[in-house]
Amino acid sequence: MKGLFRKAIALVRLHRRAYLVLNICYYAMVGIAMIAVASHPEVQEMLTQSVLEGFSQGTMAQVAAAYANGAVLQAMLLTFLVNFFLGSFVVLMLPSMLIPFAGVGMGAIRAVLWGLLLAPTTPELRVAMIPHMGTLILEGQGYILAILAAFVLGRAFVSPSSVGATRWLQGYGIGLKQALTLYILVAAVLAVSAVYEALEVIYLVPLLLPQ
């Protein structure tokens, strides 16, 4: 496992320029969307309603119930599973395995949606976002690493020579192996994020909000 972590970290260092650009772009898009929606709170209300409806069924309903009931360990586990398998792998990685760089575009959409949903447009949201900034940063890092994995896969496919390959299919195979190696870091960061988010939402936010 230590060897895999070293390989994953080495890949981030190898692509450090892309990683830095993705960080700047991701958080900048969140911030810009927050500023933009401040003048159109009805957009946030519509998106929030849609998200709440999504949390009323299936797996998301179980996540919502865990938080509502204060089941912190269950909330941690479910948050990690949803964020890792659905949020990062299904939404970001799988499309990238079919269309080069698709995960980069999907990640940009997610950043904008985060900004629209989390913009502190009400007094309650302003208070809640103080501790929730930690979740935004940590979870954002997990998704940025997943977007980097999509970038690495796409680059290896469209430019096989960049990974020492001579054919597109060979480049794809090397890129996929590197992308999956990066998912070791994605899993680790999202696990830390899930622990923080469960503790923050269940214990900290209720202390800050008026009863």
DSSP state of 159: -
First to last CA, the chain: 46
Residue from 94, 97, 114, 96 nearest 26 by CA:
114
Higher pLDDT, residue 56 or 168? 168
Q: What is the pLDDT of residue 57?
A: 80
The pLDDT-based confidence of 211 (bands split at 50, 70, 90) is low
In this prediction the pTM is 0.95
Residue 210 falls inside a structural domain: no
pLDDT in tens, 70-99: 999 999 999 999 999 999 999 999 999 999
Residue 158 falls inside a structural domain: yes
Q: Record the tokens describing residue 191, joined without a space.
A: 């696990």
* Residue 156 clears pLDDT 70, i.e. is over it: yes
> Rounded mean pLDDT of 163-192?
95
- Count how many domains the chain has: 1
Residue 31 falls inside a structural domain: yes
Spell 156-182 as b/e; 16+ CB within 10 A means b: bbeebeebebeeeeebbbbbbebbbbb
H or E segment and range at residue 150:
helix 123-158
What length does the chain have?
Answer: 211
> Residue 100: how many CB atoms within 10 A of its CB?
19
Residue 209 falls inside a structural domain: no
Q: Cα 171 to the chain's mean position, in Å?
A: 26
Residue 211 falls inside a structural domain: no
Query: Which CA distances in Å does 124 have to 56, 108, 111, 128, 206?
Result: 22, 27, 22, 6, 11
Q: What is the pLDDT of residue 172?
A: 95
Range of the domain at 53: 2-204
Residue 194 falls inside a structural domain: yes
Burial class (CB in 10 A: 0-12, 13-18, 19+), 84: buried
* Residue 117 clears pLDDT 90, i.e. is over it: yes
Residue 114 falls inside a structural domain: yes
